[in-house]
Chains A and B, each alone.
Chain A
């Protein structure tokens, strides 16, 4: 029992990591897009759990609201809308798997090396700073909001314009074209 309490964070991390990887494998392995989308949902939820484990509670909530709530509904809606299963079947491209595996395996090795180097030269963690506003112990949401609206107000506004443009673009591309206007 004591072992369980001591290693609780590790156990949670490895369970969530297994869910993340299994979900990602499911996304690229399922041939039915609905199964892939639900697999992606599992990945999103496990990543939200990892955010909580990393003291980013606000982002965990945003992850669930935006990804699981918004993006996933959008994906499923479009999958239902275009009736993918009635479309001609996608050919298999296992021949691409070998060059992909070689190239990405090399990339993986390089990045693991960089990661190990960074871990050897990293500074110690200070989780308390993630819940403070100017030294006051407040919540993570207050701390993120303080940073977002004080130091990063201009990028925040630019991102809101990007969202507006994306919304208009999605509406323009999604509507039916009138006769002769194209």
Chain B
């Protein structure tokens, strides 16, 4: 029997891996991918609780999370394109001034 705890542990591992990636990696594109990992972990949690409680609200909010994730990816990748045009780098440590 796979319980909600199994799914929660899996989403926990996924979340921690995403945070580790955001801390350790300095490539902007990889950091954005780690944000996607974290949002996927949140979705697994939502749906695990939806199944556990027999309530569809979790699935509805997972739809919202997916939408926000898509918007976040579009904005983040737009920032990357602008950043590469401005500084020719995707290394976050070299992006330390606000003004161009």
Asked if residues B37 and A21 are in contact (CB atoms below 8 Å), the reply is no
User: Chain A residues near B19 (CB, 8 Å)?
Assistant: 100, 104, 107
Contacts of B43 in A (CB 8 A): 47, 51, 59, 63
Contact between B17 and A169, CB atoms less than 8 A apart = no
- With beta carbons under 8 angstroms apart, the residue of B14, B16, B48, B59 that contacts A20 is B14
* Range, interface on chain B: 35 or more
Chain A positions within 8 Å of B5 at CB level: 115-116, 118-119, 122
Contact of B56 among A71, A90, A147 (CB under 8 A): A147
Bound-state CA distance A178–B92 (Å) is 26
With A37-B33, A54-B51, A71-B73 known as contacts, the answer to whether A118 contacts B6 (CB < 8 A) is no
Given contacts A87-B88, A118-B5, contact A147 B16 (CB under 8 A): no
B13 / chain A contacts, CB cutoff of 8 Å: 21, 24
What does DSSP make chain A's interface, helix, strand, loop or mixed?
helix
Closest chain B CB from A69 CB (angstroms): 10
CB-based contact B16/A107 at 8 Å: yes
A 100-131 binary contact with B (CB < 8 Å = 1; else 0): 11001001100110011011001101111110
Contact A10 B2 (CB under 8 A): yes
Interface contact A173-B81, CB-CB below 8 Å? yes
Chain A neighbourhood of B17, CB < 8 A: 21, 24-25, 27-28
21 cross-chain CB contacts under 8 A: A20-B14, A37-B33, A43-B40, A50-B7, A51-B47, A54-B7, A56-B47, A74-B77, A75-B32, A82-B84, A84-B90, A87-B91, A104-B16, A112-B12, A115-B8, A119-B5, A122-B5, A123-B53, A127-B54, A130-B51, A144-B63
